Structure 1
Amino acid sequence: MQRHFCCLLLCLLLYAGSTWAQNPELPYTTINLQNLNDFKPTGSNWKLVGDVFYDLNKIGGGNTKSGSGILVNDFSGKSKDHLATKMEHGDLELELDFMMDKGARSGIFLQGRYEIQLFDSWGVKDPKSTDCGAIAQRWDENRPEGRKGYEGHPPAQNVSKAPGLWQHYAIVFRAPRFNEKGEKVANARFIKVVQNGVTIHENVEVTGPTQGAPLQDEKPTGPLMIEGDRGPVALRNINYKSYGIEPVTLTKLRLSAYDGKFKSVDELKALTPKREMDIDVLAHQAPGSRDNFAGKITGTIHIPRSGEYLFNLNLRWIPAEVNPKVRNGAGELKIAGKKIFGIDTEDGGKASTKVNLEAGDYPIELSYYKNFGLWYARSNDILLAVEGPGVQYTTLNQIIRVEDPVSEISVLAKSDPVMQRGFVNHHGKKHTHTISVGEPGYANYSVDLQKGEFLQIWRGDFLETTPMWHGRGETQLSVPMGSVIELSGKPSLAFLSDKNTVWPDSNATYNNLGYDVDQAGRPIFKYTLGTANVRESLAATDEGRKLSHTFTVTPATEGIWCRVAEGSDIVQLGNGLYAINDKQYFIELPGKEKPVIRTTSTNTKELLLPIGAKNNAGNVTYSIIW
């Protein structure tokens, strides 16, 4: 049976709450960028700096500040070596930030063999296997001309940002598998690649090393490598989880089922089960049981490696939003007879804990009850997931159900601007009086018409409207399909007594007058602020690379200001450019505009412009670049 049960409850940490935005997880391992000790010796082109600036408009126009924390490929010298980690990995979850110089190219090689492209693909309409986010093609000189390159996989859509802005990758990679003779029995696979919050690849098989890979053989492990011979690139926040191939397993499952109403799982100790049966999935599968039941599932859990494990449990018939006075269910989990955690109605059916376990096999016991079901939480399934040292986050013995297929209902902006009214989630809050506008250049935005708030921008495809139009459309949400930047959501215009007046959270004098539609199909928003009439418009320029934002105020009224941006920092770059919120996006001001950059009470920065007057009308225009 079990071998050891050492320090089972050491470091026990219980997470219990009425809501659970996402599953808790174990921390990543961070590659140290205070020095280069985590990397193999390499050329002088790889350096650590404190900050980096790549010029949006100039190839090779980058400069850096001394310090550490950011890894840059300095392309100015003769050295153009690749960079490889000392860490060798098999299965891997990888997250990192990267920044491209204008026109630059690089790549990240998993195991030194399988490349995800890094490239300045800003504004590319039809991405190919050479663009940013692509899985690079393979190459065979023996194939016919024009077919030497094969198996390249472009990203599902181009969500690349402008040069000089930080971007993000999240990659889940499954290494190739080999038998005891060293023969490959399964190809490498990119389980998921997410760029800037958008899934661009899922479950893509790679039959061998991609073109230009530093390592051309295939083995169970290899280093993480960054291409150094093709252009300037910067990286930071390189974090990973490396996994072995032996999983946590749950076997020998047996269900003891009870009928009736219950107040506690402790009541089961004195009862005889109504029926007993062997099961192979986690669910209450007793015949005829829908409500008013309890169960005790026993089995054996295999722990492949000693260390700290995270367990997440979800009794799916207990929804997050319930009346805690009406208890419709509860449960508890034991390993080797020790209670790990319990779930009550107040927990919303979800709980999590971390516990230290030594490698071995342990008896496991899961007890639960359900007194009644809710129409929107009918399932009797139980979700038990685990993550640990060298063990990827895994849902154990999950039941697989065939659900009614629902095709995605989407709205795309192909040749003309498209407007869509609906509900929008912004910073976790639902806004009900919104309009979203999609531009053919893949620059999109949402505005709250009721409050006069500029909510969000995104690059990529426009909207998924399935939650609005399928069935009863219960949530009514329109969901951006591209890479979203959520803005602060405060009013764009306000009356200030002087440049130091605190920006208001809302405008009491704001009165929405609807919108006109111009000849191109774009809305022109109309509203009043006190006695001032405002016309506000946005339009994609430079083939969608920029979003121009314009306000016209009549009559020109003293004291009206425009709040252009807010972020953790605002850095003036010259040529009218300002980097916002740790280089998340740029603001471009035309002409010789002189903004006010100030610090708020919450220690963020704001960029403000006064509404200048000319011929009894005030105007301000700026562009957002991302």
Structure 2
Amino acid sequence: MQRPVCWSLLCLLLYTFSVSAQTNELPYATLNLQNLNDFKPTGGNWKIVGDVFYDINKNGKASTKAGTSILVNDLSGKSKDQLFTKMEHGDLELELDFMMEKGSNSGIYLQSRYEIQLFDSWGEKDPKSVDCGSIYERWDESRPEGRKGYEGHPPSQNVSKAPGLWQHFKIVFRAPRFNEKGEKIANAKFIKVIQNGVTIHENIEVTGPTRAAAFQDEKPTGPLMIQGDHGPVAIRNIKYKAYGIEPVTLTKLTLKAYDGKFKSVDDFNALTPKREMPIEILAHQAPGSRDNFGGKITGTIHIPRAGQYLLNLTLRFIPNETLPTNPNGAGELSIAGKKLLTITGKDNNFATITTNLEAGDFPFELAYYKNFGFWYARSNDIQLTIEGPGVQYTPLNPVIRIEEAVSQIKEIATNEPVMQRGFVNHHGIKHTHTISVGEPNDANYTVDLRKGEFLQIWRGDFLDTTPMWHGRGETQLSVPLGSVIELPGKPSLTFLTDQNAAWPDSNATYTNLGYDVDKSGRPVFKYTLGGANVRESLASTDEGRKLAHSFTVTPGSETKEIWCRVAEGKDITVLPNGLYAINDKQYFIELPGTAKPVIRNTAQNTKEMLLPVKATNNVGVVTYSIVW
């Protein structure tokens, strides 16, 4: 009996994140934060505001500004109510930004039952099941002391930011499953939890509601709950995709296979297929040539719900370098006799469409051909994905060839700083002369030695060097393992005629002289800037919560004024505690003493923070700290 082509949410996520292919997705639904109308009636602790400030060093010092788009839990009054959405969900993909007050504690409860912990875990070295991002423990008073809490799951690493900074969660949740009698047949599962860009949980089952859940039973659906009785928290940009259980499926698949070279899929109409065979997956599985073939796959597609659907088709055997005058292949997809997707092979191997489909079972046809092989596109793989109302982003065929599993090659800074030379991707551009430095307390950074550019910082584990050392190591890339903040990446120092002159994208007067290693094992970068000599260093302080960046400049005979570019972002805000919030509170800048920066507009509609390098006794020193 032929099986329908249908994959669980687990397979879906593994496929989506492991296969390199172009993808598009339907937009998320959002919770309106112009008011509280999307939530059930609640207490006065929940408010909508325009901005919020939490002091990095003190709790109870919160302040807000009037406006909309930010949800805050204000516990300055007597009310400490939980907040429930009117929306109820089963399977859910949820994204939101959150901000913690110092020492605060809250939580996001899927179906009001299964908690992802919100907590001020800034700087915690050994995260536990009470820390931010943990799947909170269950609780049973009948268990012995010390064992009442159980099944808690800490995050795989702590990537939490400082109080007062915006953080991000993406949560993919599968609701528990029940049979027709209402009996549970499968546990709830957190398919994936991503905090600040780092996967901290995968495929964690939860056998029942976690501690402090609103309900102790389990149901197919329930509202989202935000904990309001523990501590202050701010939340914004709440968006979600809610899914049903019934999937899109392909059944009764038949392949008509053709041999030879073709100019169009219409050529098949005048030909008799070399073979005709039932198939179970969407692929050209006929024996014969791997390089000169055509195929027409027909079958039935089941659409569970009427509405707008997104389809993405990739013919992976067509290389990107195919010349328009000599296409390697092409393809067409039709549903219910209507041609929906066409790949000409003249410009790319990918096609996408958003279209309305009715619910029901409809004829499905995919025709395609391949005229010649190509060294990196030898595969006969076809990739078709679909997403729609209540239907998660789903591949309608599995991966035919799974790459052999490779053990990850990690570099971890355990007892002293670690340095790694290599290639790094920064804003999509490969930088080839970089050095990445990892600190034992998880504050890490990358500098471009050839250009004198400060590229990125990240908190968490140091580097994945598998792309450098596995096989031929063709990409030579080192990949940060923690939560990355990509900096703009322009020269750190330059000459300016005055404080209004534009900062250059590169510095022709910069000459790299390598680096020394100080007693702590950290590099001290050396270079000249015109006639001036510079020594630049970075060091983690405050147990890794800050990264101090220092420049010592000896002007020598150089008479031009040297400036240091401290930060750039879409906004730079001076906070009540004297810190500067950069780029929508992505990170803080801390300046020493009475240093007064120049904050100015750029031609790119961003803000820029500069400090002059003022020499005393022929030595100028600039120091600032990045806090995140």
Smaller-chain TM-score bracket: over 0.9
Q: 1:569 is matched with which residue: 546, 568, 571?
A: 571
Partner AA of 2:619 in structure 1: A
> 2-side partners of 1:157 and 1:195: how far apart?
10
**Residue aligned with 2:621, SS:** strand
2:297: which partner in 1?
297
After superposition, where does 1:529-544 map in structure 2 within 5 Å?
A: 529-544=529-544
Q: Deviations over 1:83-119 (max 9, x none)?
A: 0000010000000000000000000000000000000
1:459: which partner in 2?
459
2:150: which partner in 1?
150
> 1-side partners of 2:255 and 2:366: how far apart?
9
User: Could you tell me how far 1:206 is from its partner in structure 2?
Assistant: 0.4
User: Could you tell me how far 1:574 is from its partner in structure 2?
Assistant: 4.1
**Residue aligned with 2:519, SS:** coil
User: Could you tell me how far 1:567 is from its partner in structure 2?
Assistant: 0.3
Partner AA of 1:536 in structure 2: E
User: Is the 1:282–1:399 Cα contact (8 Å) retained in structure 2?
Assistant: no
User: Is the 1:281–1:399 Cα contact (8 Å) retained in structure 2?
Assistant: no
After superposition, where does 1:208-607 map in structure 2 within 5 Å?
A: 208-555=208-555, 557=558, 558-607=560-609
Q: Deviations over 1:495-552 (max 9, x none)?
A: 0000000000000111111111111111111111100111110001011100000001
User: Could you tell me how far 1:591 is from its partner in structure 2?
Assistant: 0.4
User: Could you tell me how far 1:215 is from its partner in structure 2?
Assistant: 1.2
**Residue aligned with 2:468, SS:** helix
User: Is the 1:113–1:215 Cα contact (8 Å) retained in structure 2?
Assistant: yes
User: Could you tell me how far 1:21 is from its partner in structure 2?
Assistant: 7.5
> 1-side partners of 2:532 and 2:322: how far apart?
47
Q: Deviations over 1:543-576 (max 9, x none)?
A: 1100000001102654100000000000011444
User: Is the 1:566–1:605 Cα contact (8 Å) retained in structure 2?
Assistant: yes
User: Is the 2:22–2:350 Cα contact (8 Å) retained in structure 1?
Assistant: no
User: Is the 1:576–1:591 Cα contact (8 Å) retained in structure 2?
Assistant: no
CA RMSD of aligned residues (A): 1.2
> 2-side partners of 1:141 and 1:319: how far apart?
61
User: Is the 2:284–2:295 Cα contact (8 Å) retained in structure 1?
Assistant: yes
Partner AA of 1:36 in structure 2: L
User: Could you tell me how far 1:369 is from its partner in structure 2?
Assistant: 0.7
> 1-side partners of 2:74 and 2:201: how far apart?
30
Q: Deviations over 1:22-66 (max 9, x none)?
A: 511111011000010000000100000000010011112111000
> 1-side partners of 2:106 and 2:319: how far apart?
46
**Residue aligned with 2:544, SS:** coil
> 1-side partners of 2:618 and 2:509: how far apart?
21
Partner AA of 2:312 in structure 1: N
2:160: which partner in 1?
160
> 2-side partners of 1:326 and 1:593: how far apart?
63
> 1-side partners of 2:91 and 2:24: how far apart?
20
User: Is the 2:291–2:378 Cα contact (8 Å) retained in structure 1?
Assistant: no
TM score, norm. by length of structure 1:
0.96
1:619: which partner in 2?
621
Q: Which moved more, 1:144-153 or 1:25-34?
A: 144-153
> 1-side partners of 2:319 and 2:522: how far apart?
42
User: Is the 1:423–1:431 Cα contact (8 Å) retained in structure 2?
Assistant: yes
> 2-side partners of 1:475 and 1:195: how far apart?
27
> 2-side partners of 1:62 and 1:55: how far apart?
7
Partner AA of 1:601 in structure 2: A
Say if 1:601 and 1:403 are closer, same or farther in 2 by CA, change over 3 A. closer
- Gap runs ≥5 in structure 1: 1-19
Identity rate of aligned residues, in percent?
A: 77
Say if 1:285 and 1:22 are closer, same or farther in 2 by CA, change over 3 A. closer
Say if 1:349 and 1:149 are closer, same or farther in 2 by CA, change over 3 A. same
**Residue aligned with 1:147, SS:** coil
Partner AA of 1:583 in structure 2: K
Q: Deviations over 1:176-201 (max 9, x none)?
A: 01111111111000010000011111
User: Could you tell me how far 1:300 is from its partner in structure 2?
Assistant: 0.5
1:196: which partner in 2?
196
After superposition, where does 1:121-140 map in structure 2 within 5 Å?
A: 121-140=121-140
- Gap runs ≥5 in structure 2: 1-19
After superposition, where does 1:7-22 map in structure 2 within 5 Å?
A: 22=22
Q: Which moved more, 1:311-320 or 1:590-599?
A: 311-320
User: Is the 1:259–1:293 Cα contact (8 Å) retained in structure 2?
Assistant: yes
User: Could you tell me how far 1:373 is from its partner in structure 2?
Assistant: 2.0
User: Is the 2:136–2:211 Cα contact (8 Å) retained in structure 1?
Assistant: yes
Partner AA of 1:446 in structure 2: T
Say if 1:313 and 1:347 are closer, same or farther in 2 by CA, change over 3 A. farther
**Residue aligned with 1:345, SS:** coil
> 2-side partners of 1:21 and 1:359: how far apart?
28
User: Is the 1:468–1:476 Cα contact (8 Å) retained in structure 2?
Assistant: yes
> 2-side partners of 1:319 and 1:114: how far apart?
45
Partner AA of 2:453 in structure 1: E
> 1-side partners of 2:269 and 2:230: how far apart?
68
User: Could you tell me how far 1:442 is from its partner in structure 2?
Assistant: 0.7
> 2-side partners of 1:538 and 1:447: how far apart?
10
> 1-side partners of 2:247 and 2:602: how far apart?
50
Partner AA of 1:562 in structure 2: C
1:608: which partner in 2?
610
> 2-side partners of 1:114 and 1:435: how far apart?
42
**Residue aligned with 1:543, SS:** helix
> 1-side partners of 2:428 and 2:418: how far apart?
25
**Residue aligned with 2:266, SS:** helix
2:27: which partner in 1?
27
> 2-side partners of 1:321 and 1:599: how far apart?
42
1:99: which partner in 2?
99
> 2-side partners of 1:397 and 1:301: how far apart?
13
Q: Deviations over 1:439-476 (max 9, x none)?
A: 11111111111111111111111110111000000111
> 1-side partners of 2:97 and 2:337: how far apart?
44
> 1-side partners of 2:319 and 2:136: how far apart?
43
User: Could you tell me how far 1:614 is from its partner in structure 2?
Assistant: 1.7
**Residue aligned with 2:251, SS:** strand
> 2-side partners of 1:21 and 1:338: how far apart?
25
> 1-side partners of 2:210 and 2:392: how far apart?
25
**Residue aligned with 2:508, SS:** coil
User: Could you tell me how far 1:329 is from its partner in structure 2?
Assistant: 1.3
> 1-side partners of 2:44 and 2:321: how far apart?
57
User: Is the 1:135–1:154 Cα contact (8 Å) retained in structure 2?
Assistant: yes
> 1-side partners of 2:363 and 2:320: how far apart?
30
Q: Deviations over 1:387-443 (max 9, x none)?
A: 000000000132444432211111111111100011100111111111111111111
1:14: which partner in 2?
none
Q: Deviations over 1:572-615 (max 9, x none)?
A: 11444100000000000010000000011121000000012122
User: Is the 1:122–1:163 Cα contact (8 Å) retained in structure 2?
Assistant: yes
Say if 1:454 and 1:321 are closer, same or farther in 2 by CA, change over 3 A. farther
Q: Which moved more, 1:566-575 or 1:251-260?
A: 566-575
Partner AA of 1:320 in structure 2: N
2:110: which partner in 1?
110
Q: Which moved more, 1:549-558 or 1:250-259?
A: 549-558
TM score, norm. by length of structure 2:
0.95
User: Is the 2:546–2:627 Cα contact (8 Å) retained in structure 1?
Assistant: yes
**Residue aligned with 1:537, SS:** strand
> 2-side partners of 1:185 and 1:171: how far apart?
22
Say if 1:238 and 1:367 are closer, same or farther in 2 by CA, change over 3 A. same
User: Is the 2:21–2:314 Cα contact (8 Å) retained in structure 1?
Assistant: no
